[in-house]
Amino acid sequence: MEVKVENQDPQAAFREECQKIHDDAQFSAEVQYLSASRYERIAFWLQVVPAVASALTGTLSIGLPTQPYLRWIAAGSAVITAVATILNPAQRRYAHLSAAKAFTVVKIEARSIGGVFGPTMPLHDFQKAVKELVTRYNDLVRLVPPSEGWAARLVSLKKAKKAPSLFEKSH
């Protein structure tokens, strides 16, 4: 199957597609890394802090008359532990971190195919490599956890400040 690209060299079209995949994968990886970082902080506050509070209230209540504030601290940490169990921020962190790593791999492959290996390949092999890359990227998009809106906006703002294309040659 030959690709017909009007008014454009097929190699240039394949490099452009690799550039688009690279940029999209980089954007998605950054969004997923930010989301993973957020869930890591949430996990700390919802899992570590209540555990320490429970340990302290248990230790303080040994041999002493039970103080009302200790009961409230213990009850509060139990509620937070229950919420943490339901939300499971550690699992969400891992899902976003795994997605970020997968997008990073696709980004590196896009850079390699579009900038290094592709231009030296026969056109048919270049086309096949780009098509496989597109398929991998699309499959990955379907499988990863949804992007967090706040993280996507933050990465978009950061990206607006950046400039040149990966495959453009500077003079």
Q: What is the pLDDT of residues 79-122, one digit of tens each?
A: 777 777 777 888 889 999 999 999 999 999 999 999 889 889 99
Residue 1 binned pLDDT confidence (cut-offs 50, 70, 90): very low
Domain total of the chain: 1
- 15: in domain: yes
Please indicate, yes or no, if residue 1 is contained in any of the structural domains. Answer: no
CA angle centred on 169, ends 167 and 171, rounded to 5°: 165
Q: What is the pLDDT of residue 154?
A: 86
For the stretch 35-62, pLDDT in tens is 999 999 888 887 777 777 777 777 766 7
> Cα–Cα distance between 67 and 60 in angstroms, integer?
9
C-alpha closest to that of 38 among 78, 79, 87: 87
**Is 135 part of any domain?**
yes
Instruction: Assess if residue 21 is contained within a domain.
Output: yes
The one-letter amino acid code at 89 reads P
The proportion of the chain whose per-residue pLDDT surpasses 90, expressed as a percent, equals 44
Residue 170 included in any domain:
no
Which residues have C-beta within 8 Å of that of residue 50, sequence separation ≥ 6?
A: 76, 77, 78, 80, 81, 84
In a domain, 157, yes or no: yes
CA atoms of 99 and 32, how far apart (whole Å): 6
Q: Quote the domain boundaries for residue 50.
A: 10-161
Residue 126 located in a structural domain: yes
Domain assignment of residue 5, yes or no: no
Using CB atoms within 10 A of its CB, is residue 116 exposed (0-12), middle (13-18) or buried (19+)? exposed
